[in-house]
Amino acid sequence: MTPSSRSAFGNAQKFAFRTAARYEQRLLKLFTMQQQITFLLFLLCAFTLTVSATETTIYKTFAPAEDVPSWTEKDEALVKDRLQMMLSPVNLKFDKHTKEYIQAYTTYGYRGAEKMLGKTALYFPTFEEYLREYNLPQQLKYLPMVESGLNPHAASGAGAVGLWQFMPETAKEAGLTIGTYTDERKDLNKSTEAAVRHLKYMHETFGNWELAIAAYNCGAGTVRKAIRLSGSRKYSRVKNFLPRETQKYLPRFVAASYIAENYHFHGLRPEMPDYNLLMTSTVKLYSSMTFRKIAGLSGVDMQDIQLLNPAYNRGVIPASSRGHYLILPEIGMTRLENHLKYSNVKTNNPTLNAASSGGQNLRKVSYTVKSGDTLGTLASAFKCDVKEVKTWNGISSNRIFAGQELMFFVR
């Protein structure tokens, strides 16, 4: 019997005794001895059935659901075939650990997998955008499925937080702020760009994605030590000198990649967010605003604002010279921007700022693209974001060409 069922049994038993005591005096007055015994036996049987039903309900709650998908040898063969057809920057090896994690996603853990898969609609577009900007493989977007289950509030016992699970020291090195009002490890845009830069550096350091992903998990120093001990840079040899958790990290990444692309073969149904949360727009604010004020001006529910903007700890976007991102459903952002045109709130939209303050805080600069320039390098040079460059110049692609004129707004 589980602790919960023992508790239920005890409560029912106490209730039976209390009820019997309550009726004891009435029984003595109204019934003969034989009638009293018969009634007490009836009462005992009734409560035995009640306890049995309670216990059955408890076991049913904690036992695997009746509709949990099964796993057969045929499924295993099909999974192997599908893995061979997938594109990935790593070797999609089907080993005992990969099998274990795919089984977890598709059988007893399928409900959690469906919730996580639904969140991909919220986060993958942003992951894909930054991976394109830094010319990294799109399949790296599956890493946060392993790191956090796509939960921006996820926190490990070691102190890692956010979608990409940044430790405090690594976050600070990446330029992410952790403070009373904000934890940028939970910021979708800032944490993703920081993670992508870090992955790019790991790949440049180790030369292949297996080692780069391992280093993302356990640190570059640990991987360097494993390379030295193994005398090789081949992951198949290096992994034996890595921590046990890291040895299982790549199989977890392979399993996450598989389920993201093949969930429909296993009858999984992603729990999609509300439609209005899928069509969003982003603006960078430099002035302080509360969630309550944003809700009033945009018509967006506070709950949705909090869900889309988990980096703000106290319902306040603080003022910042670097700016803070605000994400809202598109219709709500339109309402908010209509207000901001006639307020003193500063944003990364020069049109709005010009309307509110005559553009006194931003200086327009024209730049002619040179050979070798990218949006990422130019954004760094002008101390802005790639998203801002795109907004200012009305472009959607990451491609620019030599001789192209770009407009920047600098402070």
Closest CA to 253 of 135, 93, 130: 93
User: Which position has the token pair 């907004």?
Assistant: 391
Closest CA to 362 of 334, 382, 376: 382
- In the DSSP assignment, the letter for residue 1 is -
pTM: 0.72
Q: What confidence score (pLDDT) does residue 36 get?
A: 52
Closest CA to 120 of 142, 138, 102, 101: 142
Closest CA to 247 of 259, 238, 256, 257: 238
Compute CA distances 307 → 151, 224, 275, 315, whole Å: 10, 39, 14, 11
Q: What confidence score (pLDDT) does residue 361 get?
A: 56
Q: What confidence score (pLDDT) does residue 346 get?
A: 60
Q: What confidence score (pLDDT) does residue 363 get?
A: 66
State how far the Cα of 201 lies from the Cα of 195, in Å rounded to an integer.
10
10-residue mean pLDDT series, the chain (411 residues): 42 45 43 50 45 31 51 89 96 95 95 96 94 94 98 95 97 94 96 96 96 97 97 96 96 98 95 92 89 95 96 93 90 88 61 42 73 84 82 78 78 66
Q: What confidence score (pLDDT) does residue 393 get?
A: 80
CA dihedral 105, 108, 112, 114 (to 10 degrees): 60
C-beta of residue 347 within 8 angstroms of C-beta of residue 353: yes
Tell me, yes or no, if 114 is annotated catalytic: no
Q: What confidence score (pLDDT) does residue 362 get?
A: 60
Q: CATH number of 73-266: 1.10.260.40, 3.40.50.170, 1.10.530.10, 3.40.605.10? A: 1.10.530.10
C-beta of residue 398 within 8 angstroms of C-beta of residue 375: yes
Structure tokens at 14: 């106490």
* CATH for the stretch 363-410: 3.10.350.10
C-beta of residue 181 within 8 angstroms of C-beta of residue 318: yes
State how far the Cα of 218 lies from the Cα of 216, in Å rounded to an integer.
6
Query: 87: helix, coil or strand?
Result: coil
Q: How far is CA 172 from the centre of its chain?
A: 20
Q: What confidence score (pLDDT) does residue 38 get?
A: 52
Q: What confidence score (pLDDT) does residue 66 get?
A: 56
C-beta of residue 133 within 8 angstroms of C-beta of residue 398: yes
HEC string of 229-259?
HHCCCCHHHHHHHCCHHHHCHHHHHHHHHHH
For 104-125, b/e burial (b = at least 16 CB within 10 A) is bbbbeebeebbebbebbebbbe
Q: Which residues contact 130 (CB under 8 A, 6 or more apart)?
A: 189, 192, 193, 196
Q: Which of 55, 147, 193, 210 is catalytic?
A: 147
Instruction: Identify the burial level of 367 via C-beta atoms within 10 angstroms of its C-beta, where 0-12 means exposed, 13-18 middle and 19 or more buried.
Output: middle
Structure tokens at 319: 């003022």
Closest CA to 115 of 70, 149, 154, 138: 149
Q: What confidence score (pLDDT) does residue 395 get?
A: 79
HEC string of 212-230?
HHHHHHHCHHHHHHHHHHH
User: Which position has the token pair 């603006």?
Assistant: 283
Closest CA to 316 of 353, 349, 285: 285
